[in-house]
Amino acid sequence: WFKATLQDAPGLTRGLIDEVKIQRAFADYEKQRRPSFDSPSYLNSGHQGQIYWFLRRYWSGLFGGDMNDAFGYSAAFTRRVRPGLMAKVVADVRAMTPFMTRRLPLDQHDLGWYQLDWHYYRRHLFGPLLRHPLNPGWDRHTVTDVESILRQHKTLLRRQARWFTHGDFYPNNVLVTNHRRRPVVVFDWELAHLNLATWDSVMVSLLSWRSPNWQSTFSRAARARLPKGKQTEQLWALAT
């Protein structure tokens, strides 16, 4: 609500209303199961009075990282959170699928969503990249090939986009506390939806580039917790 008040954006307000619904559902879920992560329970009411809770932790450097030009999980975060624990956190989010799909009408992100997302990045990121001195060797055919690969996997994407997904595991949506059993706190569920089992895991892996050893260990642990089978391997390769 604090963000919505500042930005006065109807779309953002609707998203935050959905987020409150997920927080309420999570509060009921953790009465039945004890996931390896926590989520701020005061968001159940959508009250903005606790914004200082976030600010204090931000000033204390407890967030996973910042959203800026060089964003990614900070070295301080990867020192405090074991890669195996983070892999379990992501797996525990995915394990909420049966409960959340019974409670909430969740959007499914299949080929259409991926194409929409790709068109945005093609225009705002990959287009300028082709003309940039730091271009790693891409050309227009490389960009076109990505869309072709998505189309080739249309059926796979549609059938496998069935797992509850946080969808926004950016470093500033994760913080670490001194709680022994559940030190990782996950919030900002505004973009939660049904997606591939690999989505959240790949996102965390890509954003942990600052710590290569942590990144590789996390990736192995995360893949070990994914559903077994050739399709999962295809989806991991497609995402990375």
pLDDT in tens, 177-207: 888 888 898 988 888 999 999 999 999 999 9
Q: What are 86-95's pLDDT values in tens digits?
A: 999 999 999 9
pTM for this predicted structure = 0.82
Tens digit of pLDDT for each residue in 15-46? 777 888 898 899 899 999 989 998 876 544 44
Query: In this structure, are residues 187 and 93 in contact, taking their beta carbons and an 8 Å threshold?
Result: no
Give the chain as a DSSP string.
-HHHHHH--HHHHHHHHHHHHHHHHHHHHHHH---SEE--GGGGTT-GGGHHHHHHHHHTT-BS---STT-S--HHHHHHS-HHHHHHHHHHHHTTHHHHHHHS---B--HHHHHHHHHHHIIIIIHHHHTSTT--S--HHHHHHHHHHHHHTHHHHHHH--EEE-----GGGEEE-S-SS--EEE---TT-EEE-TTHHHHHHHHHTTT-HHHHHHHHHHHHHTSPPSHHHHHHHHHH-
Interval 137-149: pLDDT, tens = 888 888 788 788 8
Residue 103 CB partners (closer than 8 Å, separation 6+) = 25, 28
Residue with tokens 């059993």: 181
- Reported as a pLDDT band with limits 50, 70 and 90, residue 106 is very high
User: What is the spatial distance between Cα 39 and Cα 20, in angstroms, rounded to a whole number?
Assistant: 11
Confidence of residue 127 (pLDDT cuts 50, 70, 90): confident
